[in-house]
Every structure is written in structure tokens, then in C-alpha cells.
Structure 1
Amino acid sequence: MARKVWAYAKDKNQCFIYKNQSLQPKIFYIWDVLRLKEQNFKKYQELKFYSTEHDEINRLELIPTEHGFFRYKSDEIDENTKESIYHSAVTLVLLEMPVIKFTFDKNKYILNFSKFLVEPCFRFKDFDQNEEKYYPDLVGYFSSECELQEKWKGCLAIEVVYTSRCYEKKVNSFEKNSIPIIEVIISKELKFNTNFCGEINFTAADVESYYKLLKAEFKNQVCGEILSDPVSPDFYIKKVSSLKEEYKRKLEIKQQFHNNEKTNLKRELNYINLKYEEMKSDASHLHNLLEQMKQQEWHLNNRLNNYAVMGFWQKLKFLFNISTD
């Protein structure tokens, strides 16, 4: 049986205690409960503590111990205390984070959550129509739009892993039912050299210090691995629509570019035509000058020919006429 560093509680009227104006049960930390026991034993006696499953029917009574965790009321001794403390503390810190900066294989996402469910029961049908039941550590529901919200239909199952990882059948069942799963693995770095080993030789103060270290570490980032990565049809529809809009926008830009190019070409063509007409006019003028020069040359050649056949006295008379003129 798992050991928890936090619990829910019933008051003297046997009603679960909730946060102010909230549908979420109030969290009772083991270190605060032990302080209450020491400082106000009467108020402490009015409370009964229970495990933190989402479904009340699954909650079992817990007893706070001086060793920094709640144990089940049963006297059965758990051999996995070390694993349970790490697992419970990490789960608690994630539960209390409305914004988590996840890193999946170097890809970073900032996910905003409106609420978490602790160990809710998922019931699926297998291929033989037999019912399968699964209890993920946490299920978080997104509170604002982000890429993963559209892709994952607004929720995410989180498994906190110390030694035993999710088995393939569970991952396949969640993916088949379009529910994503990520694992947050408790690595050596996340232990912070805590000494939760051997016999029960740690205190509530040790657990509280570990909880605070985790909160500071997770504030920067939480490393996880995506196991189930379903994609909702709406995500594809929106993606296709977005691509169509992008294509339309680029096409309009390209069309505008072509229109501008066409306008510029027309302007250049008009300019060339204008210059062509000017050159034609200049060519016509030169042609007229050339014809005039040819006429003058013809007249000069005629005079020269006439002069060439003249006799001496005719040339003298011609020259005399010219000079007298």
C-alpha cells in the first residue's frame, strides 16, 4: 500500500472538507497535520484523514505517522515506502501547479490547467468488449488555448514514475480512446540526495524540505516523456484550414507581386513605345534630310557634268557669268 505525504479529511460531521468556494477537497500536508496534533490536539481529534482518489468510494482512511507520511489504517507494512514518498511528493507538487512548463524531448510547452483529478477511474472496452479499468496518477484539464489543447482535446493524463513504468497495454488503451499520457520520471536529480532509504528513518521535516525543493525545481521546468500522443480530428481540420488560409494569403501576395510586375512592365513598354516613336520621328527627319542632300548632290553632279563638256570659251563665259552674277 502506498504512503502519502498528503491527504483529504472529514470533519466531526463526517463531511469532506473543501477549499473555500471550491469543488476541490482541501489538502492536508503531513507536516501541518503533525503540527496540529502537537499544538491543538482537540481540533486534531475532530478530523479523520483519507486517501486522495477522485472517487469518494475509493478513499480509505489514513493514519498520520511521525515518520512523515500517512499510512492506511490497516497495520499492513508497505515495503515500498521509499518509492511511495517520492511518488506522493512529486504528484502533490504537480497537482498544485496551475501552470506547468513541460519539456518533451527538447520541445517546450507552457500548459495552463483549470483543475486536476487525482487517480480518476477510466473504463475502456477491449477488442473482446471486456471492461478495462485504469487509474492514472493525475488527469489535468487545460484552461486556455495552446497547441496541445487543440491536439489533445483539452486534457492530459500524467503518470509519476519511480521504478515501474506504464505497460504497453495501458498506453495503447489510452491512445485508442484519444487520451494522451505523459510520464514524469523521478530521476536521480529529482531525489536531491534525500535519504529515504533503509528502515523508516526520516521525519516530516525531511519530507517538507523535499516538497519545497521540488516546487522550486518544477517552477523552471518539468521533464516528461509522451507515451500516448493521439490527435483529435478537430486539430487536423483546424490545421488544414490554417494551411489553406496560409496558402491563400501567400497566393494573394504572389498575385499582388505579379500585378505589380505587370504594371511595371506595362509602364516600361509604354516608355519604350514612346522612345520608339521619337526614334521613328528622328529617323523620318533624317531620311528627309538625306533626300534633300541627294537632290542637291544630283544638281551638283549635273552642273559638274555640264561643266566638264564645255569648251574653253564656254567655260570662260560660264565663269564670267558666275563672277558677274
Structure 2
Amino acid sequence: MARKIWAYAKDKNQCFICENQSLQPKIFYIWDVLRLKEQNFKKYLELTFYSTEYDEINRLELIPTEHGFFRYKSDEIDENNKESIYHSAATVILLEMPVIKFTIDKNKYILNFSKFLVEPCLRFKHFDQDEEKYYPDLVGYFSSECELQEKWKGCLAIEVVYTNACYSKKIHSFEKNHIPIIEVSISKKLKLETEFGGEIKFTVADVENYYFSLKKIFEKNVYGKIRSDPVNHKFYTDKIISLEDAYKRELENKQLLNDNEQANLKRELNYINLKYEEMKSEASHLHNLLEQMKQQEWHLNNRLNNYAVMGFWQKLKFLFNISAD
């Protein structure tokens, strides 16, 4: 049994009801529909509810149930569709988020989206093989530049996983067609101690509370896993050019730094040579003064020695000569 918490709706003229001034179909949550049924039954009867595929031709009629979910009107289709409330809630919450803060392998990415397609039909044809059809939960288109946009050409598929992960053939087909896949798993933690499977033991209030609780978690962070990771040739080329430019700038900076260091060393060497010449000149001057002092000392010692051997009258005469001098 399918358990969807949201749907599109046609009015009494069998036209899909859209958001104000938008071509995007309006979202009808099961709790709002049941309130409408209770408060304005006549208006409720004017509405016919449908599944939410992007291609209108694929939308099927739904019936709201009092338990808190939509089911397919066709019993056969409903029995073959096993969508859970967990899957339905996570998908519509992501659809409503223009900015998703992903954590992928401990790396954080803030992805901005301009629009989402809900379960679009993607057709892949490879040479003589049969055509492959896939219906990813969401295809989101980036609205601003980021690393992943350059790598992935501006869009990605988001798959919400409750029980079955993406199978290898699907991943391979998406990768060959340059469409990345981010897988968002509904872990035990994201069930928030609710039980919407098996026997129905919950109410529409439980479903509504779960939706808003999960939305608060996703607004802070969404853990994802990249399953398809195509890289276009231009991305690698731009990366190589960027690395080459960075290396060139680093080399130029180091060369400039080396030139500056060489210039500084040259200035320091010239300063040292100048000081050396000044010190040499000073040393030569001091050496000359020392020689002069030695000559004066020798002359004084010689006179002192002569004075020492003089007699009394010679010394007296010598002293008078000094005074006269």
C-alpha cells in the first residue's frame, strides 16, 4: 500500500491547481485536506487528488484516508506501490528547500536550487540497447555557482532511500549520461521513534508532527551519499589550468622573494664593505698615532737617560735651557 502525505489536486474544471502566479502545482498536505473535509465539505468535494509526478500524463488519482495519508484509487496500483510515509515526507521536505546543507563523507556543501522536478521520466538510449526509463525522486537545478555545479553541469538527482538503495545498473546509466545522484537514507534516527509501517496505529496528527520534526532536522543538515559522480572534461581542464596558474603565481612569488632577499643581501654586503673600509682607515690613523707616540716616547726616554748621567751643573744648565725653551 502506498502512503503519501502530499498530493496535487484538480479543481471542478479538471485543471491542476497551481501556486499563486506560478506554473508549479500547489502542494496539498494530507492534514490540510482532512481539515478542509471537516470544515468545508462542499469545497473538498470539488477537488480530485493526484500523485505528484513531473509529467502530468504519469499522475494517477489518489484518495485521502482518515489515517493520515493518500493512497491510489486503483487497488491494483496501490498494492504494487510501497511508498512509505518516511519516503514521502523526506521527498516533499527536500523539494521545499531552495538551500540544502549537505554533509557527504564529512565534507559539507551548501547547494542552492532554482527548481526541482518531481519524479521526471528520464529516458536513456545507448547504441543498439533497449531504452531505459528512470524516475528519480527529485532532479534539482543549481541556482548559484559552487564546486559541485562546475563538476556536475548544474543539476543532480536526489534519491530518498528507505529500504532499497539505488541499484548498480541505474547508477551506471546515470553516470554514463552525466547525471549525478545523491542518496539520502532514512535511518533509524530519522524515524524519530515513529512507526508508520505495517498495521496502522497512527493518526494524521502523528504524520503532521513527524513532517515538521523531520523538516527541522533537514533545515540544519542533510546527510547524503554520492552514488553517481560524473565529471565533465571541462571541469578537469579548468582544474589543471587553475593548478598551473597557482603554481606559476607561487613560482613568481618565490622568485620575487628571492630577488628581494638577494637585493637585501647585496645592500648588507655593501654596508659591511663600507664599514670595513672605514675601520681600515681608522686603524691606519690609529697606527700612525701609535708610531708618533712611540717616537715621542723614544725621544723622551733618550733625553731622560742623558739627564740621568749629567752632573749637577749640567743638570742645572739643562733645566735653564728647558725653561728658556
TM range (shorter): 0.7 to 0.9
The alignment's TM-score, normalised by the length of structure 2, stands at: 0.84
Show the counterpart of 2:237: 237
Using a 3 Å threshold, how does the CA distance of structure 1 residues 77 and 11 change in structure 2: closer, same or farther?
A: closer
Per-residue deviation, 1:79: 5.4
Deviations 1:186-240 (A, max 9, x none): 1111111212233334332221111111111212211111111122233223323
Q: Distance in 2 between matches of 1:218 and 1:52?
A: 21
1:102 aligned onto 2:70? no
Gaps of 5+ in 2: 303-310
What does 1:203-282 correspond to in 2, within 5 Å? Answer: 203-282=203-282
Cα contact 2:100–2:112 (8 A) shared by 1: yes
- Are the structure 2 counterparts of residues 83 and 16 from structure 1 closer, same or farther at C-alpha, using a change threshold of 3 Å? closer
Aligned twin of 2:177: 177
- Tell me how far 1:78 sits from its aligned partner: 4.4
Residue identity opposite 1:122 in structure 2: L
Kept after mapping to 1: 8 A contact 2:161/2:186: yes
- The superposition leaves residues 89-126 of structure 1 with CA deviations (integer Å, 9 ceiling, x where unpaired) of 11111111111111112211111111110001111123
Equivalent residues of 1:82, 1:196 under 8 A apart: no
State whether residues 82 and 197 of structure 1, in contact with CA within 8 Å, keep that contact through their aligned partners in structure 2: no
Quick one: structure 1 residues 77 and 199, their matched pair in 2 at CA, closer, same or farther if it must change by over 3 Å?
farther
Match of 1:3 in 2: 3
Aligned amino acid, residue 32 of structure 1: D
Give the counterpart letter for 1:13 in structure 2.
Answer: N
Question: Are the aligned partners of 1:119 and 1:139 in contact in 2 as well (CA < 8 Å)?
Answer: yes
Structure 2 partner of 1:60: 60
Deviation of 1:171 (Å): 0.4
Q: Which whole-Å CA distance do the structure 2 matches of 1:49 and 1:108 have between them?
A: 38
* Contact kept? 2:72, 2:78, Cα under 8 Å: no
State how far apart, in whole Å, the 1-side matches of 2:283 and 2:85 are: 101
* Structure 2 residue matching 1:117: 3-state secondary structure: strand
1:93 matched residue in structure 2 = 93
Tell me which amino acid in the other structure corresponds to 1:69. F
What SS is found at the alignment partner of 1:144?
Answer: coil
Give the paired residue count: 314
Q: TM-score, normalization: structure 1?
A: 0.84
Residues 103-118 of structure 1 correspond to what in structure 2 (within 5 A)? 103-118=103-118
The question of whether the paired residues in 2 share the 8 Å contact of 1:11 and 1:47 is answered with yes
Match of 1:153 in 2: 153
Please give the root-mean-square deviation of Cα atoms over the aligned residues, in Å.
Answer: 3.1
Q: Distance in 2 between matches of 1:88 and 1:240?
A: 42
The amino acid across from 1:57 in the alignment is I
Partner of 2:308: none
Q: Distance in 2 between matches of 1:225 and 1:277?
A: 73
**Separation (CA, whole Å) in 2 of partners of 1:238 and 1:82:** 44
Write the distance in 2 (CA, Å) between the matches of 1:294 and 1:259.
52
Contact 1:61 1:72 in 2 (8 A): yes
For 1:159 and 1:191, locate their aligned partners in 2 and report how far apart those are by CA, in whole Å. Answer: 17
- Number of the residue aligned with 1:141: 141
Distance 1:47 1:252 in 2: 70
Aligned to 2:166: 166
> Structure 1 stretches of 5 or more lacking a match?
304-315
